Amino acid sequence: MQKTSEWLMSFNSSQRQQVQALIHERKKSFNKSVTVSFTGGKGGVGKTSIALKFAKELAKQGHKTLLIDCDYNLSNTAIRLGLPLNNSNFYSLLTAQKSFEDCLHKEGNFHLLSACNGDLDLFDSKLKLEELILDIIAGHEDDFDFILLDCPAGLSKEALILNAYCDQRIFVVTPDKASITDSYSLMKVLSTKFGVKENHLLVNMYLTSKQFQRVAVTISETVENFLGCRTNILGGLKRIDVEHSRFDNFFLANTESGFHKKFLQVVHKYSDDLSRSLGEFNSSSRNRLEQDVQTIS
């Protein structure tokens, strides 16, 4: 059977746009999990921290959530949660020596598939990792409400394919000019090559409300004017001034802090946008879409 990623790549970019839309409509009608990437082009902007906290929050709200660490050989998710590193799990899953269930870390509704840390077998392997991840996602879309991807920085083919496959992308951007430029570049390639026309934006590490506004407006207006893409602004998180060694505890803590409350607002904004977009899908178009998907595939 043809792999999901090969199937997706077998279309030209304008066909892919159509296919992408149909996949998403089909998934809505079949109640499949919502797939979301945490991305942004630039490294060190907070993708992993935010993906972890987001996944934990969705799980706390009762959604069965899977977070997949797609920074395959520089995995940070387990270490950020204070879990022991287990290089062999992810590689064993990719090479079919272990089952998916055996490789997960579970805490209630929160499920984590962490990856490797400088694993030499993975480094030497010729595995097409983005294809394997897409097949893992496609194979478990009935089992979770949300599948979140912590994407690696950069414009690699892997990052592009994962972002293009996801129903939604949350771009994590800081006020740093390089972060804004790199995000724009990623949005541009996704729009041009994969027909991705809508993204979410989360501004991280801003210092003042004015700065947050400037970043959000600059990005949303630029991508609309030059790429014809829509940006859903989820909100922002201030730069936290806590000692480095205490950062993860503070950031991930479920407390009464202003920071946590602000984070919850971002998650609620995301949930509201999602409910609205799911609500817009009406059953009268369902049959036609299902037929269209079958024709294309």
Ligand X SMILES: Nc1ncnc2c1ncn2[C@@H]1O[C@H](COP(=O)(O)OP(=O)(O)OP(=O)(O)O)[C@@H](O)[C@H]1O
Residue type (1 letter), 164: A
23 or 51: CB nearest ligand X:
51
For the bound state, the minimum distance from the C-beta of residue 46 to Mg ion, rounded and expressed in Å, comes to 8
Specify whether the backbone of 218 is left (phi greater than 0), alpha (psi in -120 to 50) or beta. Answer: alpha
Q: Which residues contact Mg ion (rule: CB under 5 A)?
A: 47-48
Locate the DSSP E strands across the chain: 34-39, 65-69, 105-107, 110-113, 146-150, 168-173, 198-206, 230-238
Specify whether the backbone of 199 is left (phi greater than 0), alpha (psi in -120 to 50) or beta. Answer: beta
68 or 229: CB nearest Mg ion:
68
38 or 110: CB nearest Mg ion:
38
- Indicate the SS3 state at residue 68: strand
Q: Which residues contact ligand X (rule: CB under 6 A)?
A: 43-49, 71, 76, 153, 204-205, 237, 239-240, 247
Interacting partner of 69 out of Mg ion, ligand X, none (Cβ under 5 to 8 A depending on kind) = none
20 or 37: CB nearest Mg ion:
37
Interacting partner of 164 out of Mg ion, ligand X, none (Cβ under 5 to 8 A depending on kind) = none
| End-to-end alpha carbon distance in the chain | 12
For the bound state, the minimum distance from the C-beta of residue 287 to ligand X, rounded and expressed in Å, comes to 42
112 forms beta bridges with 67, 105
For the bound state, the minimum distance from the C-beta of residue 18 to ligand X, rounded and expressed in Å, comes to 32
262 or 276: CB nearest ligand X:
262
Q: Which residues contact 222 (CB under 8 A, 6 or more apart)?
A: 184
For the bound state, the minimum distance from the C-beta of residue 213 to ligand X, rounded and expressed in Å, comes to 17
For the bound state, the minimum distance from the C-beta of residue 44 to Mg ion, rounded and expressed in Å, comes to 8
